[in-house]
Structure 1
Amino acid sequence: MKTFVHRRKDVTEEELMDYSAFCQLLPGASSTQTLTLIGYKRGGVVLAMITLIIWTLPACCLMALFSFFPVQMTGIFRFIGPMTIGFLAFAAQKAFKVSIHNTITRVILVVSTIATFLLFKWPWIFPILLVLGGFVTNLSSRRIPQVEVLPKKIKWGNIWLFAIIFILAGASSELARSNNWPNRRPLNLFENTYRFGSLVFGGGNVLMPMMYEQWVARPQSQRLIHRNPNIIRVDKTDFYSGWGAVRAIPGPVFSIAAYMGGVAMKDKGTAWQILGCFIGTTGIFLPSALLVLFFFPIWHNLKKYATVYRALEGINSVVVGIMIAAALYMMKDFQSASWKDIALNFGVIGITWALLLYSKLPSPVIVAVWMGLGWLFLLF
Structure 2
Amino acid sequence: MANQTNKQSLFEIFIVSTKLGFTSFGGPTAHLGYFHEEYIRRRKWMDEKGYADLVALAQFLPGPASSQVGIGIGVARGGVLGGIVSFLGFTFPSVLALILFALVLQGLPIAEAGWLQGLKLVAVAIVAHAILGMAQNLTPDIKRKAIALLALIITLLWQTAYTQITVIALAGVIGYFIYRKQAMQTHPVHTPFVISKKLGIFCLTLFFSLFALLPFLREVTSLQWIALFDRFYRAGSLVFGGGHVVLPLLEKEFVATHLLSSEAFLAGYGAAQAVPGPLFTFAAYLGAVMDGWQGGLLATVAIFLPAFLLILGALPFWASLRQYASIQGALMGVNAAVVGILIAAFYQPIWTSTVTQAIDFAFAALLFSMLAYFKLPPWSIVIAGMLGGMLLL
Distance, in Å, in 1 between the alignment partners of 2:107 and 2:131 is 31
Equivalent residue, structure 2, for 1:251: 277
Deviation at 1:142, TM superposition (A): 6.6
SS at match of 1:140: helix
Equivalent residue, structure 2, for 1:224: none
Given that 1:116 and 1:126 are in contact with CA atoms closer than 8 Å, whether structure 2 keeps it comes out as yes
Distance, in Å, in 1 between the alignment partners of 2:108 and 2:164 is 34
Given that 1:84 and 1:244 are in contact with CA atoms closer than 8 Å, whether structure 2 keeps it comes out as yes
Equivalent residue, structure 1, for 2:175: 137
Deviation at 1:246, TM superposition (A): 0.7
> Where do 5+ consecutive residues of structure 1 fail to align?
220-232, 266-272, 336-340
Change (3 A) 1:52 1:146: closer
TM-score (norm 2): 0.82
Structure 1 residues 92-141: Cα deviation after superposition (integer angstroms, max 9, x where no partner)? 11111111122321221111101111123x12111111111011011134
Equivalent residue, structure 2, for 1:9: 44
1:107 to 127, 140, 146: 146
> Where do 5+ consecutive residues of structure 2 fail to align?
1-35, 189-196
- Does 1:333 pair with 2:353? yes
Change (3 A) 1:37 1:334: closer
Identity among equivalent positions (%) equals 31
Distance, in Å, in 2 between the alignment partners of 1:9 and 1:352 is 38
Higher mean C-alpha displacement, 201-210 vs 78-87: 78-87
1:264 to 290, 295, 305: 290
Distance, in Å, in 2 between the alignment partners of 1:313 and 1:347 is 35
Deviation at 1:9, TM superposition (A): 0.9
Structure 1 residues 8-37: Cα deviation after superposition (integer angstroms, max 9, x where no partner)? 110011111111111000011111100100
Distance, in Å, in 1 between the alignment partners of 2:382 and 2:334 is 30
Aligned length: 342
Deviation at 1:77, TM superposition (A): 1.6
Equivalent residue, structure 2, for 1:160: 205
Structure 1 residues 253-309: Cα deviation after superposition (integer angstroms, max 9, x where no partner)? 1111000011122xxxxxxx1221111110011111010011111000111111121
Equivalent residue, structure 1, for 2:337: 318
Change (3 A) 1:126 1:242: same
SS at match of 1:138: helix
Given that 2:120 and 2:354 are in contact with CA atoms closer than 8 Å, whether structure 1 keeps it comes out as no
Distance, in Å, in 2 between the alignment partners of 1:68 and 1:301 is 47
- Does 1:174 pair with 2:194? no
Distance, in Å, in 1 between the alignment partners of 2:58 and 2:360 is 36
SS at match of 1:200: coil
**What one-letter code is carried by the residue in structure 2 that aligns with 1:170?**
P
Equivalent residue, structure 2, for 1:290: 309
Distance, in Å, in 1 between the alignment partners of 2:45 and 2:354 is 49
Q: Which aligned pairs between 1:22-33 and structure 2 lie closer than 5 A?
A: 22-33=57-68
**What one-letter code is carried by the residue in structure 2 that aligns with 1:157?**
I
SS at match of 1:128: helix
Given that 1:147 and 1:306 are in contact with CA atoms closer than 8 Å, whether structure 2 keeps it comes out as no
Deviation at 1:53, TM superposition (A): 1.3
TM-score (norm 1): 0.85
Q: Which aligned pairs between 1:40-79 and structure 2 lie closer than 5 A?
A: 40-69=75-104, 70-72=106-108, 74=110, 75=113, 76-79=115-118
- Does 1:275 pair with 2:294? yes
Deviation at 1:347, TM superposition (A): 2.0
Q: CA RMSD in A?
A: 2.1
Equivalent residue, structure 1, for 2:74: 39
Distance, in Å, in 1 between the alignment partners of 2:236 and 2:89 is 19
Equivalent residue, structure 2, for 1:352: 367
Equivalent residue, structure 1, for 2:261: 235
1:89 to 112, 128, 131: 128
- Does 1:124 pair with 2:143? no
Deviation at 1:146, TM superposition (A): 8.3
Given that 1:83 and 1:348 are in contact with CA atoms closer than 8 Å, whether structure 2 keeps it comes out as no
Equivalent residue, structure 1, for 2:224: 185
Equivalent residue, structure 1, for 2:5: none
SS at match of 1:78: helix
Given that 1:113 and 1:325 are in contact with CA atoms closer than 8 Å, whether structure 2 keeps it comes out as yes
Given that 1:89 and 1:323 are in contact with CA atoms closer than 8 Å, whether structure 2 keeps it comes out as no
2:320 to 296, 301, 313: 301
Distance, in Å, in 1 between the alignment partners of 2:79 and 2:183 is 35
Q: Which aligned pairs between 1:179-218 and structure 2 lie closer than 5 A?
A: 181=222, 184-218=223-257
Distance, in Å, in 1 between the alignment partners of 2:320 and 2:354 is 49
Distance, in Å, in 2 between the alignment partners of 1:191 and 1:240 is 22
Deviation at 1:165, TM superposition (A): 1.8
Change (3 A) 1:46 1:103: same
